Each structure stands twice: as C-alpha cells, then as structure tokens.
Structure 1
Amino acid sequence: MAVPKKRTSVSKKRIRRNIWKKKRGDLAAGKAFSLAKSISTGHSKFLR
C-alpha cells in the first residue's frame, strides 16, 4: 500500500531552490559571455 512521504521543511526547500537558481544563473552567464566573445571576434551569426 502506498504511504505518503513526510513533508519537506521550508528551509530545505529554500536551500534546494537557491542552489538550482544559482546553477541556472551560471549557465545563463556562460552563454552571455560566449555570445559576447563571438560578437567581438566577428564569428557570430547573431548580428549578420
């Protein structure tokens, strides 16, 4: 028989969410830097 799991505490939920957001921020920053680098060198298809 299925047993409901215990509730995750608010603090644990916040910690996990902040870690996830930080990772996503790193990913977005990396993409932005890569795009800026390619635009500055002239290898970008973005502004053609």
Structure 2
Amino acid sequence: MAVPKKRTSRSKKKIRNHIWKSKIDQIASKAFSLARSILTGRSKSFYYIVTNQRNYEPIKKD
C-alpha cells in the first residue's frame, strides 16, 4: 500500500534552492563574460560571423 512521503524541511528546501540559484548565477556570468569579450573583440576561443557595421540599417516601426 502506498504511504505518503514525509514533508521536506524548510532548511533542506532553502539549501536546494540556493544551490539551484548559484548554478544559474555561474551560467549567467559566463554568458555575460563571453558576450562582453565578443563585443570588445578580444574573444579568442569563440568563432562568430562579423557583419559589415556600416551598411547596417535598423528596422523602422511605423
């Protein structure tokens, strides 16, 4: 017969949530660092297509 599980304590829930959020912070900081290096032109390990900036025209919304 199925028995309901015991309730998870608040401290365990907070610890798990903190670990989850810290992983997100690490991923976000790596992504921001990569974007910053691409914009400044210092990226050596990431290959991307460079478009001609002078012929770029933004889309106008009417």
Tell me if TM exceeds 0.5: yes
How far the C-alpha of 1:44 sits from its partner, in A, is 7.1
Aligned length: 46
RMSD: 2.1
Larger relative contact order (CA 8 Å, sep ≥ 6): 1
Instruction: Tell me which residue corresponds to 2:40.
Output: 40
List gaps (5 residues or longer) in structure 2: 43-47, 54-62
What's the TM-score once normalised by structure 1's chain length?
0.80
- Structure 1 stretches of 4+ with a deviation exceeding 2 A read 42-45
Per-residue CA shift, 1:6-41, capped at 9, x if unaligned?
100000000010010000000000000000001100
Structure 1 Cα separation of the partners of residues 15 and 38 of structure 2: 35
- Structure 1's unaligned 5+ residue stretches are none
CA distance in 1, matches of 2:38, 2:49: 5
User: Whose helix fraction is larger, Structure 1's or Structure 2's?
Assistant: 1
TM-score normalised by structure 2 residue count: 0.64
